[in-house]
Amino acid sequence: MNVKLPEKTDSKNLYEQVAERIEALILEGTLQPGDRLPSVRKLHHQLSVSISTVLEAYRLLEDRGEIGARPQSGYYVKANATAIPNEPAPSNPPKQVYPVDTSLAFRIRKLMHEPDIVQLGAAVPSPELFPIAALNRLMGQVMRSQPETVHGYDAPPGSEVLRREVAKRLMDAGCSLAPEEIVITNGTTESMYLSLKAVTKPGDTIAIESPSYYGLMDVFEPLYLNALELPTHPRDGICLDRLETALARKQIAACALVSNFSNPLGSCMSDAKKKQLVELLNRYDIPLIEDDVYGDLYFKGTRPKAIKAFDTEGRVLYCSSVSKTLSPGLRVGWSVPGRYQTRVEQLKIVTNVMTAIAPQLAVAAFFANGGCDRHLRRLRHAYQSQIARLRQAVCEHFPAQTRITRPEGGHVLWLELPPEFDSMLLYQEALPHRISIAPGAIFSPSGSYSNCLRLNGGLPWSDEIERALHILGELAKQQLARRQ
């Protein structure tokens, strides 16, 4: 068999191109389940690539569950490699405006964090993936070397040292910023809260993705904001035509979304669409609150640009943090509020005065010493592998009609089952087995997506997770059988 590489793609590593070609041969049927793949040495000569490149490509396909290694025999196509499920269809939420009620999400979230539960519901990465020892050392150094500083007051916009490092890192997201344009916050949630409070008043309506992260709706409720859900594609995000209709009707005061690898769909808008979105909002003088907390968690190529990179008039309020990459417990985030900066700083003072100084300085040091880039490379590989194994396990254990997203970053999966399926019932039936999921209805103010659920891919793979997915799959099959 003669394997040929596709034309070179700058955004993909060479091993990813090799893996992509092998995967295409599997999907096309050229390579059948049980077939032996070309040996590493043969493919090395055939493609004129290094042996390490071939091995990395095979490891990637192995992580995805498409091939397997046999001792002293080589690599083979797995029996279920061709059973790649469809993606969920683009959403089509109701066109009405809805008030936000987070009581159901609040009850479910409290149970998600109980001890001894397999946490497939909460989108929380495992602590063992974080550089805890390095951060602890840096915290200790900061406390010892600057005791008066860390025990004193600070004021917005926060540590200049950290703001300089954040500005450097945001260059990878396409943003050219001065440290003075950045406000340090207690995580992304506070950034979103301050941003929304700065640009809205009670009773306003905000355009959001659908499904949308329930944590965003947590912010809406105390601000007395309503939500207008926009149709959203699992690959490239919101429908701009529907947004423009809402803008023309003067229905909304702002737009809020996750720009890269959204939660729960994993969608990532193209650069062209991001630019078009900014131009559209500028035309109607409407601010955008951008949550980019997953932007550094891309699986291939380079970091996607932030929507903020296309902001020429200061209407994008950019929000992010280290909660998904370094540590949620540090509570270190930032906002780039553009033309709304003075108001955001004022609100920060009356909300909680400041962000703790020691975590700010520890994060700044971690950014500066090169440790963060090395850590992120390992973390991205871990998330990619975990998501691949999670998808494969869902394929093996869940009903055949299950549709699954194919995120290219982040660490969550969205599942869509037949319309008659009830994910809230699955949630309730899974709890006695000490398993949590996130039922679809909590991701929609209108209560849509009752046949959907989100799974957390932020946990290192284990027999316990495999067992949990087997149980969930059996419960889902039994429920559908009862409804026939």
CATH code for the domain in which residue 43 is found: 1.10.10.10
Q: Are residues 214 and 296 in the same domain?
A: yes
**Whole-Å CA distances, 461 to 113, 363, 384, 386:** 19, 28, 12, 6
The pLDDT score that the predictor gives to residue 272 is 96
Provide mean pLDDT across the span 56-66. Answer: 85
Q: Are residues 174 and 303 in the same domain?
A: yes
Asked if residue 472 belongs to a domain, the reply is yes
CB contact at 8 A, 483 and 420? yes
Q: Are residues 359 and 385 in the same domain?
A: no
Amino acid at 185: T
Q: Are residues 241 and 298 in the same domain?
A: yes
- CA 146 from chain centre, in angstroms, equals 35
Asked if residue 297 belongs to a domain, the reply is yes
pLDDT at 248 over 90: yes
Asked if residue 175 belongs to a domain, the reply is yes
Name the DSSP class of 260. Answer: B
Q: Could you give the CA distance from residue 410 to residue 299 in angstroms, rounded to a whole number?
A: 8
Which among 369, 399, 428 is the end of a domain?
A: 369
Q: Are residues 288 and 416 in the same domain?
A: no
Q: Are residues 122 and 138 in the same domain?
A: no
pTM of the model: 0.85
Tokens 């690539």, residue located: 49
Asked if residue 94 belongs to a domain, the reply is no
Which among 316, 334, 369 is the end of a domain?
A: 369
The total number of structural domains in the chain stands at: 3
Q: Could you give the CA distance from residue 109 to residue 122 in angstroms, rounded to a whole number?
A: 7
CATH code for the domain in which residue 298 is found: 3.40.640.10
Asked if residue 108 belongs to a domain, the reply is yes
Angle (CA) 173 19 468, round 5°: 80
pLDDT at 11 over 50: no
Q: Are residues 393 and 361 in the same domain?
A: no
Structure token pair of residue 297: 């968690």
Asked if residue 3 belongs to a domain, the reply is no
Q: Are residues 363 and 381 in the same domain?
A: no
Q: Are residues 120 and 143 in the same domain?
A: no
| In 250-362, beta strands by DSSP E | 254-258, 288-291, 316-321, 333-336
Q: Are residues 173 and 252 in the same domain?
A: yes
Which among 311, 344, 369 is the end of a domain?
A: 369
Domain range enclosing 107: 100-127+374-483
Q: Are residues 256 and 213 in the same domain?
A: yes
Q: Are residues 109 and 56 in the same domain?
A: no
Q: Could you give the CA distance from residue 3 to residue 38 in angstroms, rounded to a whole number?
A: 9
Q: What is the mean pLDDT of the chain?
A: 93
Q: Could you give the CA distance from residue 104 to residue 440 in angstroms, rounded to a whole number?
A: 11
Residue range 105-140, pLDDT digits in tens:
888 888 767 778 999 998 989 999 999 999 999 999
Name the DSSP class of 86. Answer: P
Residue range 152-176, pLDDT digits in tens:
999 999 999 999 999 999 999 999 9
pLDDT at 12 over 80: no
